[in-house]
Amino acid sequence: MKQSQFSLRAAALCGLAAIQGASAHLAAYTNGMYCPKNTYQGPLTNFTDPNHVVYDPLFNLPKDAWFLSKGRNCWLAPPTGVWEIQANSVIQVPWANSANSHGYYADGKEQNERPQPFSVTNPAVIAAGLVSSSGGINSPNMHAGNKSTAAGTAVAIAYKSNIYDVKMEDFVVFTTAPQTPFERLVTYNIPNLKACNECLCATVWIPDGYGQQNMYMAPHKCKIINPKGGQQPKTPSLVPGPNVRGPKQMIAAFQANGNNVQWKGGQKVPTYTSRMGFTAGAQTDIF
Ligand SMILES: *[C@@H]1O[C@H](CO)[C@@H](O)[C@H](O)[C@H]1NC(C)=O
Ligand SMILES: *[C@@H]1O[C@H](CO)[C@@H](O)[C@H](O)[C@H]1NC(C)=O
């Protein structure tokens, strides 16, 4: 009896894994990421987000569940290292589905293993079965039909080290990368951030269509290296929006509560772009 219960549970878990694999989205993999093994693997079962995997999207959740992906218990799965970021440099971060990802695209394929142009408008891409039911590239679900329709990602920082002691208002977006994620490696320009031994960073993404509207907000332990000192960004009192200049918070949208940007179907999606007041690359209006 006991054994059959176990195998039922194992079968259910396998099914879950298969579904998650099929709908896999993307996350930024750094040495400082929470949930470095993709999920919390301890004994607690009190998830408040039906998605448990770090690369799955956040949708229709209460603030206590979506903020820094807390509802997946990733705060209980601490990083194995620290994400070291050199100020005034250009860094590359993989957006993928595993810590040991490789290849030109997030699914491990090289550029010459995908029809070019790699676009859902290319009949060879359609013939290869790479288009999802929502009209985007499906391997993994990139929420984009090609590079020029990828919405853009961003990185934010809080000059605080205790994840239980940070709020939305502590995080300022310091860099954006237009037309990402699409290729696995995303390039970010880093402004003249003040050195910080133990800070918290967040990698964020709001896709523009090609599926249900949702968002991504994953926490990382980060360290800013700046031998020249640098500047500490101002606390971002500003919520992102069209023509908003100055230090801006991350965007919270499509959730059950706690949104700082209200979105109605049919409106333009609030992406990390000029639509919401962000310039491309290092944000220099944050100091
Ligand atoms: C689950 O319980 C632990 C221990 O009480 C707590 O630290 C954690 O925040 C809880 N997780 C969620 C998602 O509420
Ligand atoms: C990318 O997709 C858009 C929207 O479908 C299309 O207008 C554009 O031509 C595509 N670009 C390429 C390089 O195929």
- Closest ligand 2 atom number to CA of residue 145: 2
Specify the pLDDT at position 23.
61
Domain locations in the chain? 25-98+148-282
Q: Which residues, in sequence order, are CB contacts of 1 under 8 Å at separation 6+? A: none
Enumerate residues lining ligand 2, CB below 6 A.
117, 119, 121, 145-146, 148-149
Pocket flag, ligand 1, residue 71 (CB < 6 Å): yes
CB atoms within 10 A of CB 42: 9
CA of 27 to the centre of ligand 2 (A): 24
CA of 131 to the centre of ligand 2 (A): 13
pTM score: 0.93
pLDDT in tens, 87-128: 999 999 999 999 999 999 999 999 999 999 999 999 999 999
pLDDT in tens, 11-32: 334 333 333 344 679 999 999 9
Specify the pLDDT at position 116.
98
pLDDT in tens, 248-270: 999 999 999 999 999 998 999 99
Counts of helices then strands in the chain (DSSP H, E): 3, 9
pLDDT band at 148 (very low <50, low <70, confident <90, very high): very high
Domain 25-98+148-282 has CATH 3.90.320: no
* Burial state string for 70-101 with b = 16 or more CB within 10 A and e = fewer than 16: bbbbbbebebeebbebebeeebebbbbbbbeb
Q: Residue of the nearest CA to atom 14 in ligand 2? A: 119
Q: Residue of the nearest CA to atom 9 in ligand 2? A: 121
CA of 59 to the centre of ligand 2 (A): 27
